[in-house]
Amino acid sequence: MYRPLHDGWTLTAVSDEVDIAGIPAAVPGCVHTDLLAAGLIDDPYLDDNESRLTWIGRTTWAYETTFDWSGAQDAERVDLVCAGLDTVATLHLNGAEVGATANMHRSYRFPVRDLLREGANTLRVVFTSPYTYAEGQRARLGDRPGAYDEPYQFIRKMACNFGWDWGPTLVTSGIWRPIGLHAWDGARLSAVRPQVTAEGRDGRVEAHVTVERADGDGPAAPLAVTASVAGVSARALLAPGEREAVLTLKVPEPELWWPRGHGGRPLYPLEVRLAEETASGASAEGAPLDSWRRRVGFRAVRLDRSGDGFTLVVNDVPVFARGVNWIPDDCFPARVTRERLVRRLDQACEAGVNLVRVWGGGLYESDDFYELCDRRGLLVWQDFPFACAAYPEEEPFASEVEAEARDNITRLAPHPSLVLWNGNNENIEGFADWGWRDRLGGRTWGAGFYFDLLPRLVAELDPARPYWPGSPYSGSPELPPNDPARGTVHIWDVWNREDYLRYAAYRPRFVAEYGFQGPPAYATLRRALSDDPLTPASPGLAHHQKAVDGAEKLMRGLRAHLPAPATFDDWHYLTQLNQARAIAFGIERFRALAPHCMGSVVWQLNDCWPVVSWSAVDGDGRRKPLWYALRRAYADRLLTFQDGALVLVNDAPGEWAGELAVTRRGLGGEPLAEERLAVAVPARGTLPVRLPARLAEPGDAAKELLTARLEGHTALRFFAEDTEAALPEAEFDAVAEPVAGGARVTVTARTLVRELALFPDRLDPAAEVDDMLRTLLPGESVTFTVRSPGGLDLAALTAHPVLRCVNEPRP
């Protein structure tokens, strides 16, 4: 019997400086959200409120609740089960210490039967200040370099809690995952770890089962363990004193689980049951002692390293990773509901994504996250939570890292979506290239985790999945880690120093991180900031730009491509547009290189708060223009101009064939030269088509462009940047009409209209548009559908600054 303990909690500051006592507390939750609910702090996501809340992470806090317990509920064993405590906690039941924790990333179980009383019982959980603990460990072990001047590597906690170049410094404490009492008799299933694979046409399950007995390993009745899936069963007996069994099930010809775009995602219920064995040799009748159920999928996964490449292969089919990086979706993870994950992961799927990388500065995500990825065919690359710092390998960290890894490898083993374990984010690169070696002076930095402990644990507990020591990484500690010619690469010179056209100079094998910034939606900014007026340099907006020199880098990246913004509205539209263009340019480059390059993982899908960042979906869940660019660049079929050629990319299961038309045109749409040819691109293939000089070389670069069309797919290439092109002043007709649930906007071009965008959230914060960033030639039309539960001003919907284009008339 499991009894949640989520009610009746209070929160108290254990501090002479902070006078907060006995306020209501939500469990699961954290101190910040409790203080916010009590009206004791301002929303840390608004304006610069975050700056005044650093005291929370430097305070010790106590959670306390009282619950009733009856002897009638007694059992041989009663355990206090803590799915997640953040982070350094001491637990007391009725005044007696139950246990202590120092790791946000793992679960805990404490026996408490002898401490329970008839009637009222008091449970108290005291959380030591994360800073006090981390700074104490740093003083004891010696400092270690990191990307930020915060001690996040000295505590097993979500690193980005301490601030990042896209996130606020909001250092949390609290009971962040469920907590409760588990009463049980006889024995229980303490761990079930299925290894589920496909071998030829058959499926195979090895269910590794560990049992805990109520009386320890002393004399007891034999136990029977059974496992069943897809109509196949297996049974094992555990004699007194035995704790582990492996049950093997061979399933004939199951339907295979495939990534998105490659096939279906069938899931099969796998059940494991534990019962006492009777003297007659049959399991005792009635309810089992314990049971475990999950849905599993049959598939085989491996990492192909041939030729120094990096290719994920599922069911013997190489998969081009159309990926995004995932960060925690909220600084306060207990607020991330299943419904919110559904929306965010659906946004990934709708953008053509087939892989999500769970980044190492965050968390092992919730069971809901991986189960939703299973159902959607989203491949999951899982970082172990180490990021951008040298980590100590001494105790207590070595034991904590092993415990958390064992806990989470076992927890995530059933999920077919999980296809790769990755040791860390950028730490190998930091040691090799960021000057850490000299600063460390021989102190440990995490190498023992990435090259020894973690691969050993994966080999022991999850041998059917590949392990990679870190990203970027070239395949050997002796090689430069961020070499595009080998393994995985992170490309950050573009955002930090170079124009985005530099992506074309890369010929990588797999790009695991690259990104470009843009601001969030207007409605998100207006909710978060009270700046009046709102300008690119206003104080609130500056506070919500965490990247070093971020505002200047936005403008530097804009200057070569788009006109200088004259107003805040211009700045907002043009920087969002430039972000979308930069990432689309990179994606198209890397996809055109397939199969030499087999992965593009954009930084990043989501945000944890309203901020100027690299995300495609902002902190309020609104889709930025980048999201629409992702959807086009990650489509199954893509036409892209590359290096004097047109490359046809076909990441679909069938051949792509038809008549390709490539036309050099004037900006008025008139054809100047044209080539038509029959093409056929094989499934999962690319086809470069070299362009003849009469197409590739313009007569006047400022006044011409190329168009390519094949089977409803279109690509455009302007010979000059918008700052140098002779773009006409846009003339078009725009008509808005009401439809059920919103409006329909039809735009018909009378001249070239460049990068047409509609921003209905300026009129209704809940409004969304189905498409964006469309370039029209004279005579072409596009229709946008706007969903708006609050209703819209139709006249405003077709006027500045809601309807925008690059070459719009200037006042």
- Show Cβ contacts of residue 434 under 8 Å, excluding neighbours closer than 6 positions: 145
Superfamily name and number for 640-718: Immunoglobulins (2.60.40.10)
pTM score:
0.96
For 229-239, write each residue's pLDDT tens digit: 999 999 999 99
pLDDT of the residue at 218: 59
SS3 190: strand
Do 320-519+583-630 and 2-182 have the same topology in CATH?
no
Which class for 571: exposed (0-12), middle (13-18), buried (19 or more C-beta within 10 A)?
Answer: buried
pLDDT at site 280: 55
pLDDT > 90 in the chain, percent: 95
Q: Would you list the domain boundaries of the chain? A: 2-182, 186-296, 320-519+583-630, 640-718, 732-804
Residue 72 is predicted with a pLDDT of: 65
Give the pLDDT of residue 282. Answer: 53
Of 349 and 279, more confident: 349
Hey, which bits of 656-731 come out as E strands?
656-666, 671-681, 685-690, 704-710, 713-718
Is residue 170 scored above 70 in pLDDT?
Answer: yes
Closest CA to 397 of 140, 149, 193: 140
Mean pLDDT of 687-694: 96
pLDDT for 811 beyond 90: no
Instruction: Give phi and psi for 302, each to the nearest 5.
Output: -150, 165
Distance (Å) of CA 471 to CA 359, 487, 684: 10, 9, 26
Topology of the domain covering 186-296: Immunoglobulin-like (2.60.40)
Is the per-residue pLDDT at 71 higher than 80? no
For the residues 388-402, what does the mean pLDDT come to? 98
Is the separation of the CB atoms in 249 and 205 below 8 Å?
yes
Average pLDDT, the chain: 96
pLDDT in the model for residue 795: 96
Amino acid at 542: A
Instruction: Encode pLDDT of 200-214 as tens digits.
Output: 899 999 999 999 999
Return the amino acid letter for 645: A
Q: Tell me: the pLDDT tens digits for 325-337? A: 999 999 999 999 9
Residue 241's pLDDT band (boundaries 50, 70, 90)? Answer: confident
Instruction: Output the pLDDT for position 286.
Output: 58
- 399 C-beta neighbours (distance < 10 Å), count: 11
Closest among 676, 438, 489 to 598, alpha carbons compared = 489
List pLDDT tens digits, range 471-521: 999 999 999 999 999 999 999 999 999 999 999 999 999 999 999 999 999
Q: Which CATH fold would you assign to the domain 320-519+583-630? A: TIM Barrel (3.20.20)
pLDDT of residue 82: 98
* 2-182 is a CATH 2.60.120.260 domain: yes
For the record, the structure tokens of 25 come out as 């507390």
Classify residue 526 by burial, with Cβ atoms within 10 Å: 0-12, 13-18, 19+. middle
Whether 283 has a pLDDT exceeding 60, the answer reads: no
Q: Kindly state the average pLDDT of the residues 263-289.
A: 82
CA distance 313 to 596: 14
pLDDT at position 173: 98
627-648: per-residue pLDDT in tens? 999 999 999 999 999 988 999 9
Helix (H) or strand (E) holding 433: helix 427-433
217 falls in which pLDDT band (50, 70, 90)?
low
CA distances from 581 to 15, 68, 560 (A): 51, 60, 12
According to the model, what pLDDT value does residue 312 have?
A: 98
Question: Is 771's pLDDT higher than 90?
Answer: yes
Give pLDDT, residue 279. Answer: 57
Identify the residue whose tokens are 């299961």.
Answer: 653
> Quick one: average pLDDT of 310-323?
98
CA distance linking residue 771 with residue 783, whole number of Å: 9
Q: Which fold has domain 732-804?
A: Immunoglobulin-like (2.60.40)
Tokens standing for residue 804: 């925008």
At 281 the pLDDT is: 54
Total count of residues recorded for the chain: 811
Looking at residue 285, what is its pLDDT?
A: 52
Cβ–Cβ < 8 Å for 324, 616: yes
Residue 215 confidence (pLDDT): 83
